[in-house]
Amino acid sequence: MQTFDFDLFVIGGGSGGVRAARMSAQRGARVALAEVAAMGGTCVNVGCIPKKLYSYAAHYGDSFEESHGFGWVGEAPTFDWDLLKANRAREISRLNGVYVQLLTSAEVTIIEGWARLLDAHTVEVDGRRFTAKNVLVSTGGTPTVPAITGREHVVTSDQMFDLSPFPKRLLVVGGGYIACEFASIFNGLGSQVTQVHRRDKLLTGFDDDVRRFIAGEMSKTGINLQLGTHISAITKTDDGLQVEVKDSQDKPASFLVDSVLYATGRVPNASGIGLETVGVAVNRVGAIQVNAQYQTSVPSIYALGDVTARLQLTPVALGEAMVVVDHLFGPTDGKKPRGMSYDFVPTAVFTHPNIGTVGYSEADAREQFGAIRVYRTDFKALKHTLSGSTERTLMKLLVEDATDRVVGLHMVGPDAGEIVQGFAVAMKAGATKAVFDSTIGIHPTAAEEFVTMREPVKA
């Protein structure tokens, strides 16, 4: 019988990899984890956590201005970009240490360096070879920049947290959630922001009402949205970066900015880790193909998270990790092995204002269920009756006619993610519109609107 150094070897120390390694080790498995960079992956280091911290920072500018309507008198304090960067770096360093402590406490062997597969059971890390009964690839994703003239002058989301100096003029390329979030953040921090997107609406895949509404709200905050526009060239000059663009009719224009952020997509981080050597199958975009247990075409090798390019969300990777752990080492307390459902996965976009959504868009709901009812409202939140802000809030429900089940819930407004998370539980449990209607709202809150919308706006 073949013996191995480890029962499980995890390549990648992001959220999914750390969860799988730690929980496997707690079930008695011999586990190693290899990571070449700071522990915690994209989310902790250059994604969810620092981005949300910067989003908090960006709200203060508006909050100081809005406070005057509530009796606060005086000038707003000045913004110190370097201080924010230093405070963020300290917090991220603390979280890196937490992740390392979680692994070491579970007796996971941490191996620093670049790992690559040599065969179905062998991993090499900077010249050292290790064998494992099973290998888990959780290497995440990485930003990609198209081959445009001047691409050497652009930055990606990975560099945005430590830009120096602060960009007084920022051009953001892209219309996905990363582009929209950074446009809102830097606009709130004081940059003059232009956002260029080749499509006629932001946030492809989201509900159309949400897409239209957030574009209007972002424009009201001062972001210069250039939709139906693409970049033709970027040139470095003594005064900054000259960005040449063309609209859908090929009409040219140009912008002079300090920094250009390309946020046009991410690709699986699957190069240079030996997939082709071992014969692990990938799809046309380079994502590792897996089955329901996240097993690849090589039975001893598993993969999860962004490297499989399913839903690129940290909680999804955590859920997938637990499926792998149960599959390899059995569930605890006699429970059934977990499975992963991608239905009704809630998500948030930390634009200003925030977006929260769960379930189907209106277009997808009509395609999936046929007859549906649409409930929609938009309003000025109570806070802004005194703040002086023109910000409005959008809420929308989609209900399947045949069952009365709520199949889509969407919000654009402050704390949308916090509000939508709770409703996601109800929708996962199959809540109907009748259940929503019979639920008493908390007054006065924005969230109560979801249980007080009585008349559909359309069917």
Q: Please check whether residues 174 and 233 belong to one and the same domain.
A: yes
Task: Please give the pLDDT value at position 308.
Answer: 97
Task: Please give the pLDDT value at position 305.
Answer: 97
Average pLDDT over residues 227-249: 96
Q: Please check whether residues 197 and 214 belong to one and the same domain.
A: yes
Residue type, 297: S
CB count, 10 Å around CB of 458? 9
Q: Please check whether residues 81 and 121 belong to one and the same domain.
A: yes
Q: Please check whether residues 69 and 203 belong to one and the same domain.
A: no
459 in any annotated domain: no
Q: Give start and end residues of each alpha helix (H) in 81-154.
A: 81-105
71 in any annotated domain: yes
58 in any annotated domain: yes
181 φ/ψ angles, rounded to the nearest 5 degrees: -65, -45
Nearest to 229 by CA among 257, 199, 256, 259: 199
435 in any annotated domain: yes
* Residue after which a domain boundary falls, among 264, 299, 315: 264
Q: What's the rounded Cα separation, in Å, for the pair 312 and 378?
A: 29
CB count, 10 Å around CB of 437? 12
Residues 407, 369: contact at Cβ < 8 Å?
Answer: yes
Task: Please give the pLDDT value at position 458.
Answer: 85
pLDDT digits (tens, 9 = 90+) for 77-107: 999 999 999 999 999 999 999 999 999 999 9
Q: Edge to edge, what strands does the sheet with 224-227 contain?
A: 224-227, 192-197, 169-173, 259-262
Query: Does the annotation count 327 as an active-site position?
Result: no
Task: Please give the pLDDT value at position 1.
Answer: 65
Nearest to 282 by CA among 299, 270, 300, 293: 270
**CATH (domain of 446):** 3.30.390.30
Arithmetic mean of pLDDT over the chain: 97
Task: Please give the pLDDT value at position 332.
Answer: 84
Q: What's the rounded Cα separation, in Å, for the pair 306 and 320?
A: 11
* Residue after which a domain boundary falls, among 248, 264, 280: 264
Q: Please check whether residues 119 and 220 belong to one and the same domain.
A: no
The percent of residues above 90 in pLDDT, for the chain, comes to: 96
Q: Please check whether residues 305 and 410 belong to one and the same domain.
A: no
pLDDT digits (tens, 9 = 90+) for 395-409: 999 999 999 999 999
Q: Residue 33: enclosing H or E segment and its boundaries?
A: strand 31-35
243 φ/ψ angles, rounded to the nearest 5 degrees: -110, 120
Q: What's the rounded Cα separation, in Å, for the pair 36 and 435?
A: 50
CB count, 10 Å around CB of 284? 5
pLDDT digits (tens, 9 = 90+) for 333-381: 778 889 999 999 999 999 999 999 999 999 999 999 999 999 999 999 9
The number of folded domains in the chain is 3
Range of the domain at 252: 151-264
Catalytic residue among 59, 230, 327, 443: 443
Assess whether pLDDT exceeds 90 at residue 178: yes
339 in any annotated domain: no
Q: Please check whether residues 272 and 134 belong to one and the same domain.
A: yes
Residues 142, 306: contact at Cβ < 8 Å?
Answer: no
* Residue after which a domain boundary falls, among 233, 264, 295: 264
Residues 263, 47: contact at Cβ < 8 Å?
Answer: no
Residue 276: strand, helix, or coil: helix
- Sorted by sequence, the CB contacts under 8 Å of residue 422 that are 6+ apart come out as 447
411 in any annotated domain: yes
pLDDT digits (tens, 9 = 90+) for 251-306: 999 999 999 999 999 999 999 999 999 999 999 999 999 999 999 999 999 999 99
Q: Please check whether residues 414 and 321 belong to one and the same domain.
A: no
The percent of residues above 70 in pLDDT, for the chain, comes to: 100
CA 458 from centroid of its chain's CA atoms? 31
Nearest to 239 by CA among 254, 221, 224, 227: 254
pLDDT-based confidence at 76, cuts 50/70/90? Answer: confident
**CATH (domain of 205):** 3.50.50.60
Q: Please check whether residues 244 and 370 belong to one and the same domain.
A: no
Q: What's the rounded Cα separation, in Å, for the pair 73 and 76?
A: 9
20 in any annotated domain: yes
Q: Please check whether residues 271 and 135 belong to one and the same domain.
A: yes
pLDDT digits (tens, 9 = 90+) for 107-126: 999 999 999 999 999 999 99
Q: Please check whether residues 25 and 50 belong to one and the same domain.
A: yes
Q: Please check whether residues 40 and 114 belong to one and the same domain.
A: yes
pLDDT-based confidence at 459, cuts 50/70/90? Answer: confident
83 in any annotated domain: yes
Q: Which residue has the tokens 């402050």?
A: 414
Q: What's the rounded Cα separation, in Å, for the pair 67 and 44?
A: 32
